């Protein structure tokens, strides 16, 4: 019995000596990686890896439900900038003739420009599926407030829909890789321009409206089967 115990003890000592160095090396490497990540020293390498993986994905087909109308330098040379209320009213009217499910105007409009103020106002008021933009800022003094006509109000007269922020999030290398859906601003929760457009489309075409999730203590938004 004593001989067996001695052999067992010797075997355990040999195992400890053999694996101690391995465990120490593995622990040191793991700790080093955690420190590097905590200091964001691996961030650029991780972002580059994400970019490579995204480029390797198969090309996605263009969604025919989405139409983007761009204003290029030629248009600016011809019509000047900023575009007048009258011109925007005519443009929105032509777009609305195609019976779109949602229309978004990605132009900051904090004041009326040139002629056509009433035409611009009337056109937007006739489009419940219209979404404008606002430019939020961490400092409220730099907030760009959109025209009141952009907003849709609820039964209490509070501004709720019709406007979404178009702020973009830049990563450390100055590249846009993500988009935020919400922004807490002056005691309210604002929604992004993209989210507002998506909600208008889903509501009118599929009857999907945003719900809190979980229902008893909502921390997320649920759209159909998707949770954000």
How far is the C-alpha of 136 from the C-alpha of 143, rounded, in Å?
5
Residue 83 tokens read as 């575009």
So what's the pLDDT on residue 59?
A: 85
From first CA to last CA, the distance across the chain in angstroms is 64
Of 89, 113, 98, 34, the C-alpha closest to 66 is 98
The label of the residue with tokens 């921390």 reads 219
Q: Is the pLDDT of residue 155 over 60?
A: no
Q: Are strands 130-134 and 163-165 parallel, antiparallel or unpaired?
A: parallel
Sheet holding 226-227, edge to edge: 211-213, 220-223, 226-227
Q: Is the pLDDT of residue 12 over 80?
A: no
So what's the pLDDT on residue 3?
A: 55
Tens digits of residue pLDDT in 161-182: 789 999 988 888 888 888 888 8
How far is the C-alpha of 159 from the C-alpha of 172, rounded, in Å?
35
What residue segments make up the domains of the chain, in order of their start? 2-41, 73-227
pLDDT greater at residue 127 or residue 224: 127
Burial of 135 (0-12, 13-18, 19+ CB in 10 A): middle
Q: Is the pLDDT of residue 115 over 90?
A: yes
**DSSP string of 23-34?**
HHHHHHHHHHHH
Average pLDDT on 104-117 reads: 93
Q: Is the pLDDT of residue 149 over 70?
A: yes
Q: What pTM does this model have? A: 0.76
Confidence of residue 221 (pLDDT cuts 50, 70, 90): confident
Q: Is the pLDDT of residue 24 over 80?
A: no
Average pLDDT on 25-49 reads: 73
């Amino acid at each position: 019995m004593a001989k067996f115990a001695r052999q067992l003890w010797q075997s355990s000592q040999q195992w400890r000596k053999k694996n101690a160095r391995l465990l120490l090396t593995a622990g040191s490497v793991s700790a080093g990686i955690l420190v590097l990540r905590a200091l964001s020293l691996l961030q650029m390498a991780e972002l580059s890896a994400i970019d490579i993986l995204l480029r390797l994905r198969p090309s996605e087909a263009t969604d025919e439900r989405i139409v983007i109308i761009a204003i290029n330098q030629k248009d600016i040379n011809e019509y000047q900038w900023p575009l007048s209320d009258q011109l925007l009213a005519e443009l929105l009217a032509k777009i609305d003739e195609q019976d779109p499910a949602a229309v978004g105007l990605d132009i900051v409009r904090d004041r009326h420009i040139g002629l056509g103020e009433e035409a611009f106002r009337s056109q937007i008021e006739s489009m419940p599926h219209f979404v404008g933009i606002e430019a939020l800022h961490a400092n409220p003094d730099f907030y760009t407030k959109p025209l009141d006509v952009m907003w849709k109000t609820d039964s209490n007269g509070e501004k709720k829909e019709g406007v979404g922020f178009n702020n973009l999030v830049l990563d450390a290398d100055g590249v846009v890789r993500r988009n935020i859906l919400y922004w807490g601003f002056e005691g309210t929760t604002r929604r992004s321009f993209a989210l507002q457009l998506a909600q208008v489309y889903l509501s009118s075409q599929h009857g999907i409206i945003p719900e809190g999730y979980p229902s008893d203590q909502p921390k997320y938004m649920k759209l159909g089967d998707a949770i954000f």
